[in-house]
Amino acid sequence: MTHVKPPVVAGLFYPDQRTALRDEVEGFLGAAHPPAGQRPHALVAPHAGYRYSGSIAASAYATLIPWVDSIRRVVVLAPSHRVAFRGIALSGDDAFATPLGDIPVDTAARDRLLDLPGVGIYDAAFAQEHALEVQLPFLQSVLDEFTLVPVVVGDADADDVARVIEALRDDDTLIVVSSDLSHYHAYADCQTRDRATSAKIEALRGDQIGPYDACGAFPLRGLLKTAQDHDWRVATLDLRNSGDTAGDRTRVVGYGAYAFY
């Protein structure tokens, strides 16, 4: 029997109707202005409701449009918002569903990861997690057929996260880290904080980034370690906050989009 993970934030973070969702995502992608050049090895994209962060996420995903034929697998690493745990969680499901359809899980790749330190099947981490789910409609809108390796990262060492990335990193695979930046500061304070965090990301200084800088700090640190090990460079594609996209500037959340080459 095939076990499919149903969406939990469709109708909340993004439209729950196929046509409306497709139109919204394609609108964001059409308004993005990605740089020309190489195919990215990895992306960082935000995970708020689409009215807040969809346009910033599109800045990352639009970079894939010239390269859709070369990506056959996507590893999405998201932080855990609902469940506190130590280590790295994998899903026991065979596919993840959105209103755009089902994405098959690369179960062979998942099973290989189970041999790594701190990695295990923990479906509770996925049950109500939005940070991974909101990336999927963008991937479905940009890519053709692909398989998914969904990962939720708890309190995990950067070395352990980097080992997960390294185990699956190849020419057919895209790595995506899901992360917002600072939370609930005044608009100008958020800008200052997020510029500082963005500079650390560009400098590959994951050791200087904490959960108050980026809610996806734990998966992000692992990606930055991988980038250090392979001499990747980082391009900041977009850096805004909810005050730029949704109007209220009293208490805002920061969002950044990054590509690793």
Question: For the segment 101-139, what is each residue's pLDDT rounded down to a tens digit?
Answer: 999 999 999 999 999 999 999 999 999 999 999 999 999
Tens digit of pLDDT for each residue in 20-72? 999 999 999 999 998 888 999 999 999 999 999 999 999 999 999 999 999 99
Tokens read off for 234:
């980082």
Q: Give the per-residue pLDDT at 156.
A: 98
Domains in the chain (CATH in brackets) are 4-260 (3.40.830.10)
Q: Give the separation between CA 2 and CA 133, rounded to whole angstroms.
A: 19
Mean pLDDT value of segment 226-239: 98
Look up the pTM and report it: 0.97
pLDDT tens per residue, range 149-162: 999 999 999 999 99
CA distance 181 to 156: 19
| Identity of the amino acid at 167 | A
Token pair belonging to 211: 């959960």
Question: What is the C-alpha to C-alpha distance for residues 65 and 210, in angstroms, rounded to an integer?
Answer: 32
Q: What is the pLDDT of residues 170-222, one digit of tens each?
A: 999 999 999 999 999 999 999 999 999 999 999 999 999 999 999 999 999 99
- Burial class (CB within 10 angstroms; exposed 0-12, middle 13-18, buried 19+) of 95: middle
Q: What is the CA radius of gyration of the chain?
A: 17
Question: What pLDDT sits at residue 37?
Answer: 85
Helix (H), strand (E), coil (C) string for 182-248:
CEEECHHHHHHHHHHHHHHHHCCCHHHCCCCCCCCHHHHHHHHHHHHHCCCCEEEEEEEEHHHHCCC
How high is the pLDDT of residue 53? Answer: 98
Handedness of CA 50, 94, 225, 171 (dihedral sign): negative
Residue 89 has pLDDT above 90, yes or no: yes
At residue 97, the pLDDT reads 98
Please tell me the predicted confidence (pLDDT) of residue 36.
83
- Own/partner pairs for 12-16, CB < 8 Å, 24+ apart? 12/49, 13/48, 13/49, 13/50, 13/130, 13/133, 13/134, 14/49, 14/50, 14/54, 14/134, 14/137, 15/99, 16/99
Tell me what pLDDT residue 32 has: 97
**pLDDT recorded at residue 247:** 78
Cα dihedral sign for 16, 216, 107, 87? negative
Q: What is the pLDDT of residue 13?
A: 98
